[in-house]
Amino acid sequence: MIRHIIAAIAAALTVWAILYMAKLDQEVNRLQMIHEIIQKSKLEVPMAKKATPTQQPQKAEESEEEKKLKVLKEKAGRMSAFEVSTTYRRNCASCHGINGEGAVGPKLIGKNKEYILQALKDFKSGKRKNYVMYGLLQQLDDKELDDLATEIGSFAQKLKEAQ
């Protein structure tokens, strides 16, 4: 009799263990999927879109999938709060963040134009030594440096307006 009970308990435990593992597996798959979506969303740097009346109807038509992706992107912190120039987005955003919030490179938002311009000039001339910034700035002329400094100098204000 005792043997039967033990056998029954063992069988029940086995079934429970199998079910539990299956559930864990599902959970892991789900996490993996979320992780992949976040990774994908990081690949392209999304641009801020000004909400114009003509874009409103489009927004309503967004698929469920797109909405979810957007939420994930926001969570991943890659959504830009305001629009930036193509020059900045292409050359600088990857390291300094889409809104200058900093990543590999230091945070730029909140620093004034004069400071930024001086830093850029010093990097370009080699007075301030940084191999990455030096190489990058060789391709930009004085006008572009000035424009970038002006733009970055206005990031803090733009962020304020966007919030």
Residues lying near ligand HEC in the complex (CB under 6 A) are found at: 91-92, 94-96, 104-106, 108, 116, 119-120, 130, 132-133, 136, 148
From the CB of 157, what's the least distance to ligand HEC, in Å? 17
Phi-psi region of 101 (alpha: psi -120 to 50; beta: other; left: phi over 0): alpha
Q: Indicate the burial class of 111 (C-beta count within 10 angstroms; 0-12, 13-18, 19 or more).
A: middle
Compute and round to an integer the Cα radius of gyration of the chain.
26
From the CB of 144, what's the least distance to ligand HEC, in Å? 8
State which residue, 32 or 125, has the beta carbon closest to ligand HEC: 125
State which residue, 4 or 143, has the beta carbon closest to ligand HEC: 143
From the CB of 149, what's the least distance to ligand HEC, in Å? 7
State which residue, 59 or 90, has the beta carbon closest to ligand HEC: 90
* Cα end-to-end span (Å), the chain: 72
From the CB of 83, what's the least distance to ligand HEC, in Å? 16
What span, in angstroms and rounded, lies between the C-alpha atoms of 152 and 100?
Answer: 7
3-state SS class at 98: coil
State which residue, 132 or 162, has the beta carbon closest to ligand HEC: 132
